[in-house]
């Protein structure tokens, strides 16, 4: 463990080679977002504040890295892409409460940790990519995905993927473990093929006629339509339906922010966290990343607005996170990915 920690600190020192004298004018961010997606945010923050942002980006393992670095970790802020990553970071003990009246005022309570260890910065919804040609319904519930009328007509990525785990955990939190198991068995029976690929490939398979409904995140459809000419036909063959729970709203997930437990630049970290909830950053999230702003009143990207009005399910994200392990166990129990 000592060797791992020493190696982690050595790498961190190489990546963050600034002098201690400059520490008051920098903030170190570990992020699960691709650097190219968040760099516009950091550039704008630096322009507004004069504080330089040093970035480490990875697709996994950042909370373990911060833990291994220990009290000497250079990490000030951790940006996540899912409630699973948020939950893992808190469980690893690498965060501290964000004490900010700004965050408490802007971010709704259901999108903040009850103990203050994280806050949502932007939202995405788990929705349906429906075939324009073969699906005439304009509305659908998550519960309905287990209806036998959809037998052989649904495509989805692995049930253990963090995005589906969050949706299944939300279903479990709403309906209980027994009904969630029944629902997962019904959903599995309606699959057109073994869960595979990602959300883009789900849209591809709907476009190819392998299935009529695909389950994916809101921003992937927008990226296919606007950002990748090769994948635009997949979006053009489908339309987005915002599903809802019976008696509830559409399941949303969060991009979240945590304050590192041993943040060496804590004051600057808090400035960044509060800035990310401001109007300018929220508009960048909306337009550059095709996400729903967490801050009320910020304009949606036109493509996202075209899906229709989002009525987010009011279930607190912390309650969903508490059901992640149960949802994962149920996926294995019903053999969802087999």
How far apart CA 255 and CA 13 sit, in angstroms, is 27
Contact by Cβ (8 Å): 293, 283: yes
Residue 155 CB burial class (10 angstroms; 0-12, 13-18, ≥19): buried
219 is in an annotated binding site: yes
How far apart CA 138 and CA 239 sit, in angstroms, is 10
Phi, psi dihedral angles at 282 (to 5 degrees): -65, -35
307 is in an annotated binding site: no
| Axis crossing angle, helix 83-91 with helix 162-175, rounded to the nearest 10 | 90
Of 160, 90, 86, 156, nearest in space to 127 by CA: 156
DSSP state, residue 289: S
Bind-site residues for Fe cation? 219-220
Bind-site residues? 219-220
């Amino acid at each position: 463990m000592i060797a791992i920690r020493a190696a982690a600190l050595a790498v961190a020192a190489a990546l963050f080679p600034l002098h201690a004298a400059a520490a008051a004018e920098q903030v170190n961010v570990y992020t699960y977002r691709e650097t190219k997606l968040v760099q516009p945010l950091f550039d704008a923050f630096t322009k507004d504040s004069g504080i330089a942002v040093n970035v480490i980006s990875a697709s996994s393992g950042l909370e373990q890295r911060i833990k291994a670095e220990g009290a000497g970790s250079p990490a000030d802020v951790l940006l996540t892409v899912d409630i699973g990553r948020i939950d893992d970071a808190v469980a690893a003990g690498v965060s501290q409460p964000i004490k900010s009246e700004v965050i408490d005022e802007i971010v709704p309570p259901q999108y903040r940790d009850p103990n203050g260890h994280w806050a949502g910065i932007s939202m995405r919804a788990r929705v349906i990519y429906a075939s324009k040609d073969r699906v005439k319904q304009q509305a659908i519930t998550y519960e309905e995905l287990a209806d036998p009328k959809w037998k052989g007509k649904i495509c989805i990525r692995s049930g253990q993927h963090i995005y589906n785990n969050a949706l299944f955990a939300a279903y479990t939190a709403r309906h209980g473990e027994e009904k969630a198991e029944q629902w997962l068995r019904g959903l599995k029976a309606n699959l057109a093929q073994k869960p595979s690929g990602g959300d883009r490939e789900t849209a591809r398979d709907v476009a190819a006629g392998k299935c009529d409904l695909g389950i994916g995140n809101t921003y992937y459809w927008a990226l296919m339509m606007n950002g990748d000419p090769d994948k635009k036909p997949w979006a053009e063959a489908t339309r987005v339906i915002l599903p809802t729970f019976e008696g509830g709203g559409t399941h949303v997930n969060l991009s979240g922010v945590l304050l590192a437990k041993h943040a060496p630049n804590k004051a600057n970290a808090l400035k960044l966290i509060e800035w990310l909830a401001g109007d300018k950053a929220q508009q960048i999230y909306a337009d550059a990343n095709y996400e729903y702003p967490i801050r009320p009143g910020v304009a949606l990207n036109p493509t996202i607005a075209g899906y229709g009005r989002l009525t987010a399910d009011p279930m607190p994200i912390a309650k969903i996170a508490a059901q992640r392990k149960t949802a994962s166990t149920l996926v294995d129990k019903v053999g969802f990915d087999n």
